[in-house]
C-alpha cells in the first residue's frame, strides 16, 4: 500500500513545469566568443587535483556538519563540504581542503580504530568521525553552509515521469531527462575519490601509479548510478626514458607461466580486499580478453570494474567527451536513446548477445554526422584527425594511434552545428534514419561519417573508432539486430503521432522510456482511479477461477 500512498502524495504535490528547462534548451552560440571549449585533459586534471585535497568522512547525519567543520578547521582550511547518503542510509561528508598539504595536516591528526591497532590501520582518504569522548566540544556556529545536501541522491522515477508529463514539447522532455539524470558534481567527485583511494593504497608498492576513471563516468554520457570503469596505469615522466642516464633500475623478472600484469592485478585485488575500506565482493576475471577485477564500493555505492593499462579506453572516453561538448544537443539526445533502449530491453545490465550503451552512443554520434538539409551536427573523426597537430599525438597500448584534435577551439566554426534542428526533430530523425538503414550491407563508422561497406556478414557492424579493424558490436546476434530494427520503427511511429500534435497519457518521450508494466501500474494508480484499487492484488490478472497471481496487468487489461 505504501506505493499507493506515495503516488497519491506525489500527485497532490505535483509542481508546475519548471520553465528554467526551456532556457537551457539551446545549443552553443557560436558568436559568443567568451565561451571557450576546455580540453578533456584540463577537466581530468582539475578533478584529480580536487580528489588529491579531499577526504570522505562518515558521520551521524547531515547535522554533524557544524561539528565536523569546526573540528577540521582546527587543522586546515576547508574549501567546501558536500553531504551524501548511501543505500545503507549511512551519511558521509566529502570535504575539500584548500590544498593537498592542508589535507595531509588533517590526516596527521587522525587516529586508528581502537580494535585495529594490531593489524595496522589503513591511511586511505575514507575516514570516520568518532563521537566526542566526554563533554562535547563546543564549536561556534560557522557562517559556512553545506555546499550540497544529499548530493548523490537520484531523482525519484515518479517525480521524473510527472515532470516529463508536464513538459510543453518533446524537446523539453529530452532536455529535462538529461538535466535530471546526468551525473552531478558530487557523484563525479566521489568517483575520483574511489580512484584516488586505490591509487594511494597501491602507490606504496608501485611508484608513478595512476588509477584513472574512464567510460561513462567521464565521457559525458554517464547517468547517476552508472558503473565506475577504472584503469590502472603508470605515469612515465620523459626523464625516466632518458637513455643518457647511466644508472638504471634493475628489472624484476617474473617467473612462472602467467604474465606479469596478471600477477600485478592479482596483487591489486588482494590489496582491495585487505587494505581498501569500503571495497567488497572483489572478483578476479583475469583470463578474459580484457582482464578485469570487479568490486563494489559500499561507502560510495559504486560498482567498479578495474582493468590494466587500457589507455585506449581513456582516449576513447576523451573522444566521446569532445564530441559531446561540441554541440549541446548531443548529450540530451544520447541520454534519450540510451534510456529508450533500456526501456524496450534492447540493452541490459548483463552482458550478452545484445547491444550495449557504448555502441549505441556511437550510433547516435554517427547519425549526427549525416548531412541533413542544412548540414551536419558533428564532424567525422577523419576530420578531427586531419585537424590534429604535434601536441595531439597519442599512442596507446599495442602501438594504437589515438591521435585526433584535442583543442576544439581550433575547429573552424562552420565545420559543426550546421544543422539547427531541435531535439525532438533530431530524435525523430534518429529513429527514421535507422529504420531505413541498410544493416545488411552497411557498417557504421564515425571515422568516415558516412555508411561504409560491411567487411563481413555479422548482423550489426559498428567500427571501433580507434581500432578500425574491430567491430564493437560483434557480440550482437541476428535476433537482437532484428529487434533493434523493429524497435526503431516503432519509436518513429510513436513520435510521428506526437509531432502531429496528439498529446496522450504516454506522449512524447514517456511512450519511449516507460516500461509497459510501469505504464500499466501508473494508469491504475492515477488519482482518478485510486477508488478502484482495493488491494495490491488489483494490479495483477488472476488465473481463472483460482486466486493464484499470474501476471501484472497490461494496458489492455486496464480499461478506463
Ligand atoms: N570501450 C571500448 N571498446 C569497446 C567497449 C568499450 O573502447 N568495445 C571503452 C569505451 O571508452 C567505453 C568504456 O570502454 O566508454 C567502458 O565500457 P562500458 O562500461 O561498456 O560502457 P560505458 O560507456 O561506460 O557505458 P555504461 O554507462 O553502460 O557503463
Ligand atoms: Mg561503464
Kindly state the cell numbers that stand for 240: 625516466
DSSP β-ladder status, 395-396 and 292-297: unpaired
What is the number of H-type helices and E-type strands within the chain? 17, 15
Nearest Cα residue to atom 19 of ligand 1: 215
Which of 90, 148, 44, 71 shows the shortest CA–CA distance to 277? 90
Residue 163 has a CB neighbour count (10 Å cut-off) of 22
For residue 201, report the distance from its CA to the centre of ligand 2, in Å: 23
Low-confidence ranges of the chain (pLDDT < 50): 1-31, 527-560
Q: Please give the number of the atom of ligand 1 that sits closest to the Cα of 466.
A: 7
- CA 74-77-81 angle, 5° bins: 100
Q: Supply the pLDDT for residue 374.
A: 87
For residue 216, report the distance from its CA to the centre of ligand 1, in Å: 7
Q: Supply the pLDDT for residue 387.
A: 98
For residue 221, report the distance from its CA to the centre of ligand 1, in Å: 10
Q: Please give the number of the atom of ligand 1 that sits closest to the Cα of 223.
A: 27
pTM for this entry: 0.86
For residue 358, report the distance from its CA to the centre of ligand 1, in Å: 5
State the Cα–Cα distance between residues 66 and 144, nearest whole angstrom.
Answer: 9
For residue 346, report the distance from its CA to the centre of ligand 2, in Å: 17
In the structure, ligand 2 is a single-atom ion and the residues with CB under 5 Å from it are 215-216, 227, 229
The alpha carbon dihedral of 467, 405, 213, 152 has a sign of negative
Q: Supply the pLDDT for residue 7.
A: 37
Q: How many residues does the chain have?
A: 560
Q: Please give the number of the atom of ligand 1 that sits closest to the Cα of 361.
A: 23
Q: Please give the number of the atom of ligand 1 that sits closest to the Cα of 470.
A: 8
Ligand 1, CB within 6 Å, residue ranges: 214-216, 219, 222, 226-227, 229, 313, 316-317, 356-358, 464, 472
User: Which ligand lies nearest to the CA atom of residue 356 in the structure?
Assistant: 1
Which of 339, 401, 327, 268 shows the shortest CA–CA distance to 25? 327
Nearest Cα residue to atom 15 of ligand 1: 215
Query: Crossing angle for the helix pair 157-165 and 2-12, nearest 10 degrees?
Result: 40
For residue 323, report the distance from its CA to the centre of ligand 2, in Å: 18
Q: Supply the pLDDT for residue 510.
A: 94
CA 131 to chain centre: 35
Q: In sequence order, what are the residues at sequence separation of 6 or more whose Cβ sits closer than 8 angstroms to the Cβ of residue 311?
A: 231, 233, 396, 397, 402
For residue 232, report the distance from its CA to the centre of ligand 2, in Å: 15
Q: Are 206 and 461 in contact (CB under 8 A)?
A: no
Please, which contacts does 179-182 make with residues 24 or more away whose CB atoms are closer than 8 Å? 179/21, 179/24, 180/155, 181/154, 181/155, 181/223, 181/224, 181/335, 181/339, 182/222, 182/223, 182/224, 182/331, 182/335
Q: Supply the pLDDT for residue 29.
A: 42
DSSP per residue, 366-383: HHHTS-BTTB-SS--HHH
Query: Crossing angle for the helix pair 157-165 and 170-181, nearest 10 degrees?
Result: 160
Nearest Cα residue to atom 3 of ligand 1: 472
Q: Supply the pLDDT for residue 135.
A: 66
User: Which ligand lies nearest to the CA atom of residue 307 in the structure?
Assistant: 1
Percent of the chain with pLDDT over 70: 81
Name the residue of 212, 229, 447, 458 whose CB sits within 8 Å of the most ligand 1 atoms, as the mutation to test its pocket.
229
Q: Please give the number of the atom of ligand 1 that sits closest to the Cα of 217.
A: 24
Amino acid at each position: 500500500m505504501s506505493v499507493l500512498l506515495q503516488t497519491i502524495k506525489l500527485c497532490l504535490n505535483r509542481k508546475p513545469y519548471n520553465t528554467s528547462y526551456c532556457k537551457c534548451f539551446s545549443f552553443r552560440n557560436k558568436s559568443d566568443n567568451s565561451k571557450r571549449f576546455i580540453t578533456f585533459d584540463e577537466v581530468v586534471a582539475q578533478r584529480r587535483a580536487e580528489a588529491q585535497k579531499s577526504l570522505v568522512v562518515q558521520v551521524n547525519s547531515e547535522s554533524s556538519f557544524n561539528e565536523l567543520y569546526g573540528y577540521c578547521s582546527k587543522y586546515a582550511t576547508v574549501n567546501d563540504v558536500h553531504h551524501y547518503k548511501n543505500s545503507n542510509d549511512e551519511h558521509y561528508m566529502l570535504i575539500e581542503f584548500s590544498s593537498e598539504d592542508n589535507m595531509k595536516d588533517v590526516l596527521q591528526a587522525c587516529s586508528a580504530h581502537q580494535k585495529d591497532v594490531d593489524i595496522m590501520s589503513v591511511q586511505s582518504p575514507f575516514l570516520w568521525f568518532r563521537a566526542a569522548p566526554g563533554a562535547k566540544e563546543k564549536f561556534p556556529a560557522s557562517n559556512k553552509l553545506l555546499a550540497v545536501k544529499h548530493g548523490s541522491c537520484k531523482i525519484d522515477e515518479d517525480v521524473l515521469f510527472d515532470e516529463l508529463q508536464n513538459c510543453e514539447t518533446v524537446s523539453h522532455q529530452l532536455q529535462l531527462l538529461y538535466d535530471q539524470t546526468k551525473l552531478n558534481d558530487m557523484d563525479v567527485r566521489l568517483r575520483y575519490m574511489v580512484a584516488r583511494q586505490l591509487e594511494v593504497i597501491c602507490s606504496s608498492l608501485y611508484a608513478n601509479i595512476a588509477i584513472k576513471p574512464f567510460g561513462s563516468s567521464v565521457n559525458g554520457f554517464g547517468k547517476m548510478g552508472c558503473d565506475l570503469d577504472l584503469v590502472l596505469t603508470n605515469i612515465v615522466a620523459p626523464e625516466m626514458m632518458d637513455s643518457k642516464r647511466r644508472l638504471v633500475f634493475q628489472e624484476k623478472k617474473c617467473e612462472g607461466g602467467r604474465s606479469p600484469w596478471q600477477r600485478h592485478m592479482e596483487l591489486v585485488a588482494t590489496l582491495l580486499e585487505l587494505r581498501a575500506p569500503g571495497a567488497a565482493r572483489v572478483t578476479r576475471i583475469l583470463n578474459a580478453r580484457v582482464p578485469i577485477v570487479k568490486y563494489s564500493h559500499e561507502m560510495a555505492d559504486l560498482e567498479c570494474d578495474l582493468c590494466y593499462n587500457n589507455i585506449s579506453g581513456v582516449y576513447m572516453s576523451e573522444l566521446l567527451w569532445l564530441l559531446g561538448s561540441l554541440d549541446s544537443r548531443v548529450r540530451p539526445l544520447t541520454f534519450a536513446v540510451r534510456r529508450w533502449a533500456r526501456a524496450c530491453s534492447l540493452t541490459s545490465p548483463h552482458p550478452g548477445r545484445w547491444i550495449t550503451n557504448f555502441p549505441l552512443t556511437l550510433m547516435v554520434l554517427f547519425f549526427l554526422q549525416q548531412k541533413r538539409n542544412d548540414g551536419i551536427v558533428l564532424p567525422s573523426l577523419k576530420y578531427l584527425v586531419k585537424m590534429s597537430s604535434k601536441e595531439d599525438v597519442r599512442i596507446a597500448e599495442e602501438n594504437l594511434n589515438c591521435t585526433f584534435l584535442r583543442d576544439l577551439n581550433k575547429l573552424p566554426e562552420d565545420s559543426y552545428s550546421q544543422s539547427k534542428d531541435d531535439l525532438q526533430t533530431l530524435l525523430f530523425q534518429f529513429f527514421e534514419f535507422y529504420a531505413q538503414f541498410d544493416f545488411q550491407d552497411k557498417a557504421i563508422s564515425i571515422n568516415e561519417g558516412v555508411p561504409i561497406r560491411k567487411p563481413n556478414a555479422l548482423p550489426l557492424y559498428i567500427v571501433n573508432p580507434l581500432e578500425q579493424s574491430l567491430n564493437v558490436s560483434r557480440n550482437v546476434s541476428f535476433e537482437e539486430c532484428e529487434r533493434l530494427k523493429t524497435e526503431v520503427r516503432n519509436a518513429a511511429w510513436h513520435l510521428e503521432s506526437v509531432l502531429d500534435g496528439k498529446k496522450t497519457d504516454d506522449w512524447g518521450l514517456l511512450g519511449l522510456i516507460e516500461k509497459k508494466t510501469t505504464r500499466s501500474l501508473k494508469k491504475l494508480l492515477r488519482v482518478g482511479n485510486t477508488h478502484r484499487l482495493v488491494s495490491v492484488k488489483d494490479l495483477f490478472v488472476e488465473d481463472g477461477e483460482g486466486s493464484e497471481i499470474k501476471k501484472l496487468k497490461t494496458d489492455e487489461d486496464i480499461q478506463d
